[in-house]
Structure 1
Amino acid sequence: MFDIWNRRYTGSKYKLSSWISELIAENCNGSSFCDIFAGTGIVSYTMLDKMKKIYINDFLYSNEVIYKAFFDAAPYDKKLISEYCSRFQSLSTDNIDENYISINFGGKFFSHTDAKLIGYIREVIESDKDKLSEKEFAILLASLLYSADKSANTVGHYDAYIKGHDIPDTFRFDLINPYKTKKSQIAISREDSNEFARKLKCDIVYIDPPYNSRQYSRFYHVLENITCWRKPELHGVALKPDPENMSDYCRNKAKIVFKELIDSLDCKYIVVSYNNTYESKSSSSKNKMTLEDIEAALSARGEVQRFETSHIFFNAGKTDFNDHKELIFIVKVK
């Protein structure tokens, strides 16, 4: 079974989540927590036994489905889910026709056999949607996303696939492991962070925005495509659909929208993650905000505490960066 951290995700806070949650426990008081750029959802997971209310927000469709699968407190039929799992695990491609995934991604992001299985399973989940509760649908789809990601022929994102080798058949459908939560505890949303912030009232807000030009909707376009299942026409070597869901945090106006976000928050504590890759040789890795930009925005709301730890960051090979630090800023709002 997959836990929420069992996926490859650029900027994942899995290895830092204990440190982050300890800093929050030591420096913040409150019973409500918002993870406004939730990403993998791992920081929200560490807060499950600490907070009465958790707001989990991200603008990717795939992440929203994953949060519903893991965190939504709605009941579901475990026997039914198990039956689907057994059925999907016993599939053979001998009787499966070519499909959207195999035609577009077979022999590229997945082996041809794996792509046929992924596409077929996605069609079954979609055709059975009316027979499934929202929670059951989310569990099956999130399980497919995790299973597909594990077998993907990539370095951990979908900006490119690995070329020049035979791709092995490694796909196996496995289930995610949903967490026990209370209905009143979890609120899941897929909104623009700045728009969401204007409606939010919460004790502690954790902010981990994208800091460079890598658009997450483009980095994870294959998983977004599988989630939405609109079957768009694809372009270029990386087989991406037309741009959608693009973030201003990956553009030159990042520091402007960050300050707008910070200024609009109605909370007691602001906690911000930041990593110092802004001197990167890779233009796509260069931070769109500097430490000074962040500290200036935060200091307008209260006294800023700064914490740091050494951390090995995601590197596709273009960046020579030895002194990488992960920083946490905590502001007690005036």
Structure 2
Amino acid sequence: MFKNVERVVLAKTKITQRPYPQYIKYMGSKSKIMDFVLSGINDVYEDGGICDLFGGSASLAGAVGDQVAIHSNDIQAYSAVLAGAYLTAWRKNSTPEAAAIIEQAKAIVSRNRKAIRCLHDYAHPVSIKRFNAIEREQQSLIERNFRRPWHLFLKYYSGTWWSAEQALWIDAIREVADQYKADPTYDVILSSLMFAMAYSSQGTGHYAQYRDANTASSMKDISIYRKKSVAQLFVKKYSGALATLATQPSDFQHKVTSLDYRECLKEFSGGTVYADPPYAFVHYSRFYHALETLVLYDYPEIQEKNGVVVKGRYRENRHQSPFCIRSLVAGAFEDLFRGVSESGSNLVLSYSNTGMISIDDLGEIASREFAGKSIELVFTDYKHMTLGRQFDRHREVEECLMLVK
């Protein structure tokens, strides 16, 4: 029945997109097609809350959290922080300003940088040989034992996506952030630090692998990012986000969880589920492990191959999504559809013609699991950001919304 589906004209928008701060660069983010997503949600929304089942960068929470109760869920902990920045953060009289946070962090950096011998002023050019020697020296800090706490990024990531100096600042701001754990802006502080990490990183916007200075051109490009100030980027984002916050908690009963999608569906009922699962064989935990580590700050075991730490410095035992495994994806969708059905909710599913399962096969599974319900497919064409530096940085993708009510 889905072989020649007609393209449906969606209903007029009821829930609308509000302006909201963007904190991270995120593959497959729906922020650029949020109006399309909201049109689908409005077409099936009847009452109750909205569950964003695979929250990711929490764009949906950012877009509509002022209009409807949102249950934002994602198995990755960093997503809960981003969702909290949009949904549950508010500003008190005692909320710290950016200058106060940076002043505290600066004292920590000044105290700790004295023991680091491999710092480099990237404003002063050096030969490519010397540049790479500095990079290797910073990268070798992973082998060093530190006595003081709050050294995770300095040890794990110096000379990779960030310089040792930038890593010092990330650790310092992260340490200061925990002093404000009881403040309702705590998630905004951490989210703003994620922003500073993203825009000072010498990578491509994610953290799968950092770049090497193989040529004079790549050395120059990396140096541009090495010179960026984590502190200045943090101040820019945090100050701007703080200015948008309300001065009292939201009236909506928002909920933020870090659950497997099947467990989340057991906690949600009677509303609308928005599901945007991964499309490709690559796991998001590979691309955003540094954000997970920032939030958890747990000094994780780092993946090794043949006794050597892998270049990506991935967390050991990172999450593997069944939606990214071809042999498991059909069963994963069966569980998803069954969970939505049992929750008594309507569904808006985002998927694409480049996914791990065909739209036709997806339709057949939905027909079985949602017998007796209305099922429609809606399509739009857009460019999908891959965050790569190759010629496929933007890929032509036909985005599909499956609407079930």
What is the TM-score with the length of structure 2 in the denominator? Answer: 0.71
CA displacement, residues 44-82 of structure 1 (integer Å, 9 cap, x when unaligned) = 33333442x211111111111121222115664454244
3-state secondary structure, aligned to 2:72: strand
Match runs of 1:51-90 below 5 Å: 51=68, 53-72=69-88, 76-77=92-93, 79-87=95-103
How many Å apart are 1:89 and its aligned residue?
7.6
The letter of the residue matching 1:29 is E
Are positions 1:217 and 2:269 aligned together? Answer: no
* Matching of residue 120 in structure 1 with residue 172 in structure 2: yes
Structure 1, 138-147 or 41-50: larger mean CA deviation: 41-50
Match of 1:274 among 351, 356, 359: 351
Q: Which residue of 2 aligns with 1:169?
A: 227
Question: Is the 2:58–2:83 contact (alpha carbons within 8 Å) kept by the matching residues of 1?
Answer: yes
2:162 and 2:107 map into 1 onto residues whose CA distance is: 17
**Aligned residue pair count:** 318
Listed as ranges, the matches of 1:105-116 within 5 Å are 105-116=157-168
How far off is 1:134 after superposition?
5.5
CA contact (8 A) 2:90 2:245 kept: no
Q: Distance in 2 between matches of 1:111 and 1:151?
A: 9
- Contact (CA 8 Å) 2:74, 2:259: kept in 1 or not? yes
Match of 2:313 among 227, 239, 242: 239
Distance in 2 (CA, whole Å) between partners of 1:199 and 1:268 is 12
- The answer to whether the aligner puts 1:295 opposite 2:363 as a matched pair is yes
- How far off its partner does 1:157 sit? 1.1
Q: 1:263 matched to which residue of 2? A: 338
Superposed displacement of residue 258, structure 1? 1.3
Say whether residues 1:188 and 2:256 are aligned partners.
yes
1:250 to 305, 320, 324: 324
Counterparts of 1:134 and 1:275, CA distance in 2: 40
1:311 is aligned to 2:382: yes
Contact 1:69–1:142 under 8 Å retained in 2 = yes
Higher mean Cα deviation, 88-97 or 62-71?
88-97
Aligned pair 1:154/2:231, yes or no? no
Three-state SS of the structure 2 residue aligned to 1:123 is helix
CA distance in structure 2 between the aligned counterparts of 1:254 and 1:328, rounded to whole angstroms: 18
22-31 vs 316-325, greater mean Cα deviation: 316-325
In the TM superposition, residue 23 of structure 1 has moved relative to its aligned partner by: 2.8
Matched, 1:21 2:38: yes
CA gap 1:329/1:308 in 2 versus in 1, 3 angstroms: same
CA-to-aligned-CA distance 1:238-266 (integer Å, 9 cap, x gap)? 11121233222222212102111111212
Please tell me the residue identity of whatever aligns with 2:173. I
Q: Using a 3 Å threshold, how does the CA distance of structure 1 residues 322 and 160 change in structure 2: closer, same or farther?
A: closer
- Structure 1 residues not aligned, in runs of 5+: 278-286
Percent sequence identity is 21
Please say if residues 34 and 55 of structure 1, whose CA atoms lie closer than 8 Å, have aligned partners that are also in contact. yes
Match in the other structure for 2:140 = none
Give 1:196 deviation, angstroms.
1.1
The superposition leaves residues 84-107 of structure 1 with CA deviations (integer Å, 9 ceiling, x where unpaired) of 334268669554335331232122
Whether contact under 8 Å (2:208, 2:312) holds in the other structure is yes
8 Å contact from structure 2 (residues 41, 274) kept in 1: no
Instruction: Say if 1:73 and 1:183, in contact at 8 Å, map to a contact too.
Output: no
Question: In structure 2, what is the equivalent of residue 283 of structure 1?
Answer: none
Shift of 1:270: 0.8
Q: Structure 2: how far apart are the matches of 1:112 and 1:292? A: 50
Greater Cα shift, 216-225 or 170-179: 170-179
Which of 25-34 and 13-22 deviates more? Answer: 25-34
Alignment root-mean-square deviation, CA: 2.6
1:199 maps to 267
Tell me the SS of whatever aligns to 1:206: strand
Q: Distance in 2 between matches of 1:86 and 1:163?
A: 30
- 1:74–1:183 Cα contact (<8 Å) kept: no
- Structure 1: which amino acid aligns with 2:29? S
Structure with higher helix content: 2
Q: Is the 8 A contact 2:95 2:183 kept in 1?
A: no
Corresponding position of 1:280: none
Runs (4+) of structure 1 moved beyond 6 Å?
none
- Structure 2 letter corresponding to 1:326: E
| 2:294 counterpart letter in structure 1 | I
Task: Report the 3-state secondary structure (helix = DSSP H, G, I; strand = E; otherwise coil) of the residue aligned with 1:102.
Answer: helix
Tell me, in whole angstroms, the C-alpha distance in 2 between the residues paired with 1:69 and 1:46.
12
- Cα separation, partners in 2 of 1:120 and 1:259, compared to 1, 3 Å: same
